[in-house]
Amino acid sequence: MAKARVGVAGLGYWGPNLVRNFDEIAELAWICDLDGDLRDRFAGRYPRARATGAFAEMLADETLDAVVVATPVPTHYALAKQALEAGKHVMVEKPPAMRAAEMDELVRIAADRDLVLMPGHLLLYHPGVLKLKELITAGELGEVLCIYGNRQNLGIVRTNENALWSLGVHDLSVILYLLDEDPETATAQGRDFLTPGVEDVVFCFLSFPSGKIAHMHLSWLDPHKMRKITVVGREKMVVFDDMELDRKVTIYEKSPWKRAETYGEWQTRSGDISIPKISTDEPLRLECTHFLELVGGTGDKSKVALDGARVVRALEMLTESLSGG
Ligand SMILES: NC(=O)c1ccc[n+]([C@@H]2O[C@H](COP(=O)([O-])OP(=O)(O)OC[C@H]3O[C@@H](n4cnc5c(N)ncnc54)[C@H](O)[C@@H]3O)[C@@H](O)[C@H]2O)c1
């Protein structure tokens, strides 16, 4: 089968990673950026791809199968909508829209036209996160009770988007993927210590109809560089730590055991600690490959779009709560 013809819009910090991957596993047909210098630089590197500053010119190519959007977040909805309406499959960096209603509209357009709408939730393709999902699905942890994410560091201090939008989308996508439930409450508190109106430190709390709860600590004002997700089950507990090189996932056979008959107090059980081997496959390569599979008609294309909509809904609830709305 012929390789899908893909165009990538946005050649800033992240776009070049997408360009490299699609050049290797698809036919990179177009590169697009408003910035002429960037276009010239990438046109030199990828001479077979056509370069343009006009997104519409790329969409007008009837032989183009799919478009990848790696432009700033506020532009995602409009560009993704334009591409879907032009009949292109779309992979769009996270989040695809800033409002749930806009995301629902994108999901509807994609479904009506039988097109792929895939948000770039990179962590869902991380072999460590896939291991967490596998452990939960297999019932290894027993009933899952709570999940919390730590995404902290000192810097990079952003001045345009707050810690929830810059850092939180990653953890939120993982938590919702692992629990496969919509939160019934999602609240956030934060402070704009450095740039007025831009929260540098955000704490989020989510609760789910099943009784599970989740928490996220998001900050670029912190002494620790942490990229960690902890899942607490009734039987076992597991930690995914992306800062570790060779122990990305650690499983703790720790749990409350039973009430001591004499005192009615809980006893705890501490068994083996194990470290499963986690593949070192590049998550972005896996993500791009999945997109191409969906474009090629393999897999459930509505799932990625609906999962993305769930993330935007929760993000909207957290944002409203953070701004006191
Ligand atoms: N998955 C990840 O881990 C990850 C990491 C970093 C960034 N991202 C996402 O990638 C996206 C881009 O982030 P970035 O840091 O690369 O931003 P950036 O500002 O470095 O680059 C964005 C580029 O888009 C171009 N652009 C803007 N509007 C355009 C338009 N209408 N048509 C064509 N080009 C346009 C700009 O000229 C710029 O070169 C964001 O959504 C961000 O959330 C994802």
Give the model confidence (pLDDT) of 212-230 as tens digits: 999 999 999 999 999 999 9
Q: DSSP assignment of 261-305, as one string?
A: TTT-PEEEEEEEEE--------HHHHHHHHHHHHHTT-S-HHHHH
Strand-pairing partners, residue 49, are none
Tokens of 125: 């393709």
9 CA from centroid of ligand 1 (Å)? 8
Rounded Cα–Cα distance for residues 159 and 25 (Å): 35
* Per-chain mean pLDDT for the chain: 96
Ligand 1 centre from 136 Cα, in Å? 34
Model confidence over 103-151: pLDDT tens digits? 999 999 999 999 999 999 999 999 999 999 999 999 999 999 999 999 9
93 C-beta closer than 6 A to ligand 1: yes
Q: pLDDT of 244-262, one tens digit each?
A: 999 999 999 998 877 666 6
pTM of full prediction above 0.85: yes
pLDDT band at 325 (very low <50, low <70, confident <90, very high): low
The answer to whether the CB of 73 falls within 8 A of the CB of 98 is yes
User: What pLDDT band is residue 269 in, cutting at 50, 70 and 90?
Assistant: confident
Atom 33 of ligand 1 has which residue's CA nearest to it? 33
**What are the Cα distances from residue 239, in Å, to 242, 252, 275, 276, 310?**
10, 8, 10, 11, 24
Residue 38 CB–ligand 1 contact under 6 Å: yes
Ligand 1: centre distance to CA 71 (Å): 3
CA nearest 168: which of 150, 156, 146, 180?
150
Per-residue pLDDT, 324: 77
